[in-house]
Structure 1
Amino acid sequence: MRFVYFARVREAVGMDCEERDVPVTVHTVQDCLDWLRQCDGRYAAAFAEPARLRYALDQQMVTADTPLDGYGELAIFPPVTGG
């Protein structure tokens, strides 16, 4: 799966995107966040405030309980406001 990070998430993780093989035990966006947190402390810091994160699967906004099945890209970013 391709992971894309924006804004403060990108800064905390130290990259704007990466490709990873997701374990078969990871089924939802939340499972994915939990798995990444266990992989490296940078992810734990980046995802420390999940209420302040938003997600998109293949550029469609989703919630943390959305299944990953059939998607190829997960974007993780803070809320964005316009002006």
Structure 2
Amino acid sequence: MLSIVYFAWVREAIGLDEEQVERPAPGARVADLIAMLAARGGGYAQALGHSEKLRAAIDQHFVPIDSVIGDAREVAIFPPVTGG
């Protein structure tokens, strides 16, 4: 299993902080995982339908959306972070 953690408006649209999903096929990228989740429809489609607006972390390390998930334990999905 793979733990998916959601933050900010992604979490609000989906209605979950975290969930467990079946591990994607070997070689799957974060973008593939996001597309699979968005295909669920509803809040998933709303939050994840435009992956270019999202950021990700694999095992708490920021990564590009096209990164391979590999043997990660956790993928976090969140909107761009702004500072101030």
TM-score w.r.t. the length of structure 2 is 0.88
* Structure 1 residue 25: Cα displacement: 6.7
> Aligned ranges for residues 2-21 of structure 1 at < 5 Å?
2-21=3-22
- Report if aligned partners of 1:26, 1:35 keep a CA contact under 8 Å in 2: no
Cα offsets for 1:35-66 (capped at 9, x unmatched): 11122322111013322211000010111110
Query: Structure 1: 5+ residue runs without aligned partners?
Result: none
Partner of 1:55: 56
TM-score w.r.t. the length of structure 1 is 0.88
> Aligned ranges for residues 38-77 of structure 1 at < 5 Å?
38-77=39-78
Query: Structure 2: 5+ residue runs without aligned partners?
Result: none
Separation (CA, whole Å) in 2 of partners of 1:26 and 1:32: 11
- Kindly provide the amino acid, as one letter, of the partner of residue 78 in structure 2: F
Q: Percent identity, aligned pairs only?
A: 43
Equivalenced residue count is 83
- Report if aligned partners of 1:55, 1:74 keep a CA contact under 8 Å in 2: yes
- Report if aligned partners of 2:30, 2:69 keep a CA contact under 8 Å in 1: yes
Separation (CA, whole Å) in 1 of partners of 2:11 and 2:58: 17
Separation (CA, whole Å) in 1 of partners of 2:83 and 2:17: 22
Alpha-carbon RMSD: 1.6
In 2 relative to 1, CA 71–25 (structure 1 residues): closer, same or farther, beyond 3 Å? closer
